[in-house]
Structure formats: C-alpha cells, structure tokens
Amino acid sequence: MAKIAFIGLGNMGGPMAANLAKAQHHVTAFDLSDSAVAAAVEKGAHKAATAAEAVKGAEVVVTMLPAGKHVREVYEKDVLPNIGKGVLLIDCSTIDVDSARHVAALAAKAGLEMIDAPVSGGVGGATAGTLTFMVGGGDAAFAKAKPILEKMGKNIVHAGASGNGQAAKICNNMILGVSMVAVSEAFMLAKRLGLDAQKMFDVVSTSSGSCWSLVNYCPVPGPVPASPANRDYQPGFTAAMMLKDLMLAQQAASAAGASTPLGAEAAQLFSLFVNSGNAAKDFSGIVRMLDGK
C-alpha cells in the first residue's frame, strides 16, 4: 500500500482521506485546522504538524484545497521543495485552469508527474467513496493515479491533457448552479400556486424536469432527507464555493469566447446570496432568497 500525504481535510478532503486510510494506505494528513487533522486521525490517518512534514517520504501527494491561490502556494512552498523524484501529485481541488496548468508545469520542470483530478458527488459521495473524478494529465500519470482514485470514487474519467479535469468540472458546476436556481424557482412558484412541496417532488422527480439538484439535493425540506435543506442549510457545498466555480466558468467563457447567459445570471444570483451574509450556508439555501427571505 502507498505512503500518501493528504493536505486539506475539510468537508471533502476529510472523508476522502478517511477512505484512503480505510483501504490500508498509510495516510499522513495536514490541514491548517487542528480539528480537521484530529478528525482525520480518528479515521486512521497519521498527524503531520506542517504540510512540509506530511510530504516527506510520501509516494503520492493528494491535495483538496479551497481555490487556485491555495493550491499554488502549497505546491510552490510546501510540496515541490520537499519531495524527491518519482512522487505522484494529485490535486483534487476545483480551481482555475491556468493555476492547474501552472502548477503541473512546475511539477514537470522538477521531473514529477501531476494530474488535476477535481471531483463531483458532494460530501455524500466523498463519504461513500462514490465520487466522479475528472482527470487532466498524461497517460502514465493517469494510469498510476487510477488505483488510488478508485478508493475514493466510482467513475474515473480521463478528460485529456493537464487542466482538462478543471475544464470538465467548471462546465459541470455551471449546470449545477443554473439547475439549483431553476429547481428553487419552481418550488417557490409551486408554493404560491398552493402546490405541496412533496407532491411537486413526486411529479417532477419522475418527469422531464428531473435533475440532480432536485433528486439528490432538494432545496426545500422534506422530500430528500439527506439534503442540507433539512439541517438549516449547513453545508455540504457552501454558497461561496458555488460562486467561485460560477466565476471560474465566466472567466473561462470570456477567454474562450463562449456564450453562457444563464451561467452569467446564476453567477449574479449567487453573488447577491453570498454578499447578503450567506457565504458559509449551503448553496441550495438560495431558495430562501428566491422566497424573499
């Protein structure tokens, strides 16, 4: 089994590291939050006091960090200066394509293989080990990483060269942001028309309006017991993270000359939601803003 350094043990990284430890890998874990490290140790990981200490002697490094600036900083300052040849680098964070390609180029310059491997499936998928991984990088790195990723996920897709995993991810999350707004609007319209939320769910979940935002992550309490709506919109996936991803999609669309008017509208709505004090709420809480609350 491999010696794996895992950096970033938040809502997603925590359960992902736990699944690697459960699969008998030797996981050394680091996060800026002591309580996140303690939780990982409880699930079988070994504690590191710094990121540099975590990567010493590792064969594989996995990172699950908030955004591109964190990934650049951790690889530039902590990871790359402290590892030897032959270490495989896997960044699972959702970040901008440029940062992903920048860090992969630094790794290549140091003679190291790196993949961007962002995920879909949320905290539920991270915990159950059923995430979808979308991977950008070379064939050899992908082949090496696959058995590790299979301990954390069910669908592992090689999306192409470095950065293409991130490209797939921002396209997916643009759909997610738009569909969550659409589902939320429909529930609020139903409410005002006197249609019960459960009845609406029963109809739409088996009709042509069905989608992941409705069936797995229903934004109103009741129909889907595991959804954050049933626990006062505790994340889950924060509204701040959704806004980050929608902004990444808008930047990419602008750079590539793609027309994404609904993506732009969703970015505006999540910006309003986040800036009215809801950054740390689950993104499905946008239903409350659309309800006028």
Q: Which residues bind ligand NAD (CB under 6 A)?
A: 7-13, 30-33, 36, 51, 64-66, 70, 73-74, 93-94, 119-120, 122-123, 236-237, 241
Q: Check if the beta carbon of residue 15 is closer than 8 Å to that of residue 126.
A: yes
Q: Is the dihedral of CA 54, 55, 60, 61 positive or negative?
A: positive
Using DSSP's 3-state secondary structure scheme, residue 118 falls into coil
The residue behind tokens 């139903």 is 190
In the complex, the smallest distance separating the C-beta of residue 208 from ligand NAD, rounded to whole angstroms, is 26
Question: DSSP string spanning 16-80?
Answer: HHHHHHHTT-EEEEE-S-HHHHHHHHHTT-EE-SSHHHHHTT-SEEEE--SSHHHHHHIIIIIIG
**Size of the chain, expressed as the number of residues it contains:** 293
Q: What does the block give as tokens for 96?
A: 């901008």
Of 223 and 228, which has the nearer Cβ to ligand NAD? Answer: 228
Of 12 and 190, which has the nearer Cβ to ligand NAD? Answer: 12
Active-site hit among 144, 169, 244, 281: 169
Of 188 and 235, which has the nearer Cβ to ligand NAD? Answer: 235
Q: Is the dihedral of CA 34, 35, 40, 46 positive or negative?
A: positive
Of 7 and 18, which has the nearer Cβ to ligand NAD? Answer: 7
In the complex, the smallest distance separating the C-beta of residue 95 from ligand NAD, rounded to whole angstroms, is 6
Q: Is 140 exposed, middle or buried (0-12, 13-18, 19+ CB in 10 A)?
A: exposed
In the complex, the smallest distance separating the C-beta of residue 289 from ligand NAD, rounded to whole angstroms, is 20
In the complex, the smallest distance separating the C-beta of residue 62 from ligand NAD, rounded to whole angstroms, is 12
Q: What does the block give as tokens for 6?
A: 């895992």
- Is 154 designated active site? no
Q: Report the C-alpha gap between 245 and 96 in whole angstroms.
A: 9
Q: Check if the beta carbon of residue 148 is closer than 8 Å to that of residue 4.
A: yes
In the complex, the smallest distance separating the C-beta of residue 93 from ligand NAD, rounded to whole angstroms, is 4
Of 9 and 180, which has the nearer Cβ to ligand NAD? Answer: 9
> Which residue is nearest to ligand NAD, using beta carbons?
10
Q: Which residues are marked as active site?
A: 169
